[in-house]
């Protein structure tokens, strides 16, 4: 489970140190940073809902960390706080614990294992609180209320997930009785980014919603309820591809999934839509074994992953980013195809092609390290992998259709 951490300190080097400890243990984590010295206090309305834990430095604003701690722990539903005191066992540490810090660590001499233990406790505590809050809200809410949002025509069955930008519910359509998934975003997109971005979002999803492709999740409705954007989409009882990848997949099965993913990407690319977030968690499975893509770059377009206005953070996991995406260069369809190559390699080997201690280091490896080699028994798939993971877009397979054709030939040869 990925950890979402907010690091609050005036010193950039200390924020980076704490971020290093976090990503060393949770490699896919992307800790957010906040610098009080230049940005002042966190806004009064900031609830920290996007985070599992806050790492607070005692030295903020000339050693006013305890004031910050008292302020933040008084905010309803605020995530657990790990406090870094000048002396973990001294008077400051005792005060921090009495105010409500989940854990107090000595600022300059803490052990990595102690920090990780505190973070795991925070993660478990946060998940339990969110689950209890969700259950209580659902028990007390009318059937058509989803958290604080009322969506007519749907009956809430249960909450499926809570993320930094949205909540996801399993719902029943009142008219048809069909089960659907409602994804409700916490912030209003035209307020966050401006009407131009919102209009572009609606145009793109109008194109996707009208696609009838077996490997693209059906979108039944998109709208705004109580000033919250929501999507009503197909429900997938089989979970996601990530859950199937706890062990290496057989080559034929891996190729089958990649073929379905490529076919879906081809349909998206034909209408001018880049997915931009190709990864196992965004491929969901039906009971019949077929798969379909979800999340066509939503959070990335609307910048809904953070509830601190003005924080510029790259979200999503860099393990699946193409070299050009990781470096902020212009993207075309071949960026999605690169990400598809990463998924293929991981399904075949059980490992990601590039791993490092920090997200930036992973991005560097994508751009500068050689394409990884498959084991000898999978060498016949190396040309396909090379055509997907080439560093330069011009050296990759040119289209999703070319990938489908390539896989069909491989499966045909294997069956002969």
The full DSSP string for 157-203 is EEEEEE-SSEEEEEEEETTT--EEEEEEESS-HHHHT-HHHHHHHHH
Rounded Cα distance between 240 and 347, Å, is 13
Active-site residue identified among 10, 57, 74, 277: 277
Beta carbons of 53 and 119 less than 8 angstroms apart: yes
Eight-class DSSP state of 56: E
Instruction: Tell me the two tokens of residue 135.
Output: 């259950």
Rounded Cα distance between 239 and 311, Å, is 32
Rounded Cα distance between 182 and 322, Å, is 30
Alpha helices of 41-108 — where are they, by DSSP H? 60-63, 65-73, 91-99
268: buried, middle or exposed (CB in 10 Å: 19+, 13-18, 0-12)? Answer: buried
Rounded Cα distance between 412 and 398, Å, is 22
Other beta carbons within 10 Å of 301 = 17
Best CA proximity match to 259, nearest among 351, 350, 337: 337
Tokens 């396909």 correspond to 384
Eight-class DSSP state of 125: H
Best CA proximity match to 30, nearest among 1, 63, 56, 4: 4
Give the count of alpha carbons within 13 A of 191, CB side only: 10
- Is 277 among the catalytic positions? yes
Beta carbons of 48 and 8 less than 8 angstroms apart: no
Beta carbons of 346 and 280 less than 8 angstroms apart: yes
Beta carbons of 181 and 295 less than 8 angstroms apart: no
Which positions are catalytic? 277
């Amino acid at each position: 489970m990925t950890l979402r951490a907010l690091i609050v300190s005036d010193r950039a080097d200390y924020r980076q140190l704490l971020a290093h400890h976090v990503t060393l243990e949770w490699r896919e984590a992307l800790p957010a940073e906040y610098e009080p010295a230049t940005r002042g206090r966190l806004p009064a309305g900031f609830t920290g809902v996007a985070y599992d834990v806050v790492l607070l430095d005692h030295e903020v604003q000339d050693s006013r960390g305890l004031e910050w701690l008292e302020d933040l722990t008084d905010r309803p539903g605020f995530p657990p706080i790990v406090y870094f005191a000048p002396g973990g066992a001294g008077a400051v540490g005792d005060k921090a614990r009495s105010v409500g810090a989940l854990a107090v660590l000595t600022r300059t001499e803490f052990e990595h294992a102690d920090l990780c233990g505190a973070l795991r406790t925070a993660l478990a505590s946060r998940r339990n609180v969110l689950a209890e809050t969700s259950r209580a809200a659902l028990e007390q809410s009318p059937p058509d209320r989803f958290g604080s949002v009322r969506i007519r025509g749907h009956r809430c069955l249960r909450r499926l997930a809570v993320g930094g930008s949205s909540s996801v519910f399993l719902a029943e359509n009142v008219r048809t009785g069909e089960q659907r998934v409602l994804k409700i975003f916490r912030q209003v997109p035209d307020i966050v980014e401006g009407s131009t971005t919102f209009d572009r979002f609606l145009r793109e999803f109008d194109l996707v919603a009208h696609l009838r492709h077996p490997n693209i999740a059906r979108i039944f409705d998109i709208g705004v309820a109580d000033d919250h954007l929501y999507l009503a989409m197909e429900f997938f009882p089989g979970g996601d591809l990530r859950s199937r990848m706890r062990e290496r997949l057989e080559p034929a099965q891996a190729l089958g999934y990649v073929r379905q993913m490529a076919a879906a990407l081809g349909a998206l690319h034909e209408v001018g839509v880049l997915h931009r977030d190709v990864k196992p968690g965004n491929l969901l499975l039906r009971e019949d074994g077929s798969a379909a893509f979800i999340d066509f770059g939503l959070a990335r377009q609307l910048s809904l992953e953070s509830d601190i206005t003005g924080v510029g953070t790259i979200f999503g996991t860099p393990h699946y980013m193409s070299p050009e995406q990781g470096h902020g260069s212009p993207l075309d369809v071949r960026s999605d195809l690169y990400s598809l190559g990463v998924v293929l390699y991981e399904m075949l080997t059980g490992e990601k092609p590039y791993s490092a201690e920090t997200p930036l280091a992973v991005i560097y490896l994508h751009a500068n390290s050689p394409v990884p080699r498959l084991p000898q028994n999978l060498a016949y798939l190396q040309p396909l992998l090379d055509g997907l993971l080439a560093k330069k877009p011009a050296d990759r397979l040119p289209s999703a259709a070319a990938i489908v054709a390539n896989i069909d030939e491989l499966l045909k040869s294997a069956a002969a």
